Structures are given as C-alpha cells and as structure tokens.
Structure 1
Amino acid sequence: NWAGFYLLEKGSGDLVLGPFQGLSATPRIKQDSGVVGTTFTKQTLTIVPDVHQFAGHIACDPASNSEIALPITRKNGEKIGILDIDSPITNRFDQQIALDLENFIQTLLANI
C-alpha cells in the first residue's frame, strides 16, 4: 500500500522523503528513528513482519501491517538513502522479495 524512497540530506543528516506512491508520509526521518532510520543507521535490510510490534514504528498509513526497508549505498560506501515498502498484509515480505529488491537497488545504483 506504500512504496518510496527516503534520501539522505547531507547537511542535516536527516532522511527526506523522495519519490513515493501511496498516502502522504512523514517528510523527514532522523537516523535511528523508526524502521527507515534504523535501517539507515545499521545499513542492513530490515523486514518487519508486524509493524505494531516494532518499537518506535512511525505510522503513516494506518492500513500498513508489515514493512521492508533496504539501504541504498554505493559500493564505495556512499550512503544514498532507503527504499521503504509497506503492506497491509502481516508477514508480507520474505527473503526472496528481499533478494529481488536488493537486485533492483543494484540496478538503480548502476544507472545513477
């Protein structure tokens, strides 16, 4: 029900909402805040089977029940941002979806 990008604003260090599809979302997220900020800080894939069980979850769409967030980082270590996807279905995301999205991110990075 929601998919979009949060991009690093180098001056503030915040993650700023970029292109997205779905209901309006939080325009700025601090590093270490919510699923997006935690994923950015840890620089690891985050799969949240039930967002209601994630301490500090930032709810934008009350219909969202699960979430996946992936860091977008160049091979040289430059941090670009996060790809964030929500679903109204609990436990919607699995390792195959994560692998497919990681491949998608690598394709994006190869073309920007």
Structure 2
Amino acid sequence: MAALAATRAVTLGGIPDITTGATAATVSGDTAPVGERLFLLAINSGASSRTITIATPGTVHGHPVADATLVVAAGKTGLIPLTAIFRGTAGRAAITYDAVTSLSVRVLELGA
C-alpha cells in the first residue's frame, strides 16, 4: 500500500491543472489523508471501467456504513470527496481497486 499525499491543484491561466502529479494506483491499494477539502482523483486511461472502493470503517448510531465506490468509465476521470467518514484507525482512508492497469490517482486539496 502506498501512502498518497495531498497536493494543491495549481491554476494555470485560470484553469486548474488537476491531473499533473497523479501516480499509478497500487495493486495492494493505497491510503490517503481525509479532510474537508480533500478529494481522490482517479484517471482511467484504459479501455475498461475501474471500480474504486473506499472503506467506511465507522458506524452511525451503531449501524455499519457501506463502503463507498466510484466507478470510472474507460477514458474518463472521477472525483470523490475524502471526508472524515473514511478515517480508519491509522487516521487515513483505505482505498482499493478492482484493477490498476491504466489507472492513476491523486489526492487533491481544493478550495481556499
């Protein structure tokens, strides 16, 4: 598992550059920081869709919360917020992938 770090999107000419700095998704999964302005960016440059799962380790009023999934179609980009509900025992989100071929990820800090 790789520990992804959050980076700020740089704005070039008024357009944010969100894809530069993305790294290959790790076969064994990744971890990421969680927070109000943090998002997981997934870039699928392959010919098949990819499913990304983020573990939801906590409960709400004693009931387990289902893990979150993000399906990114072939050739598309997806974005999912990394809110505190994904915070695991190590203080980070645990992320897994159904396949990592042609899948790049980045944790973005967006906002002020």
TM-score (norm 2): 0.25
Higher Cα Rg, which structure = 2
When you count helix as a share of all residues, which structure comes out higher? 1
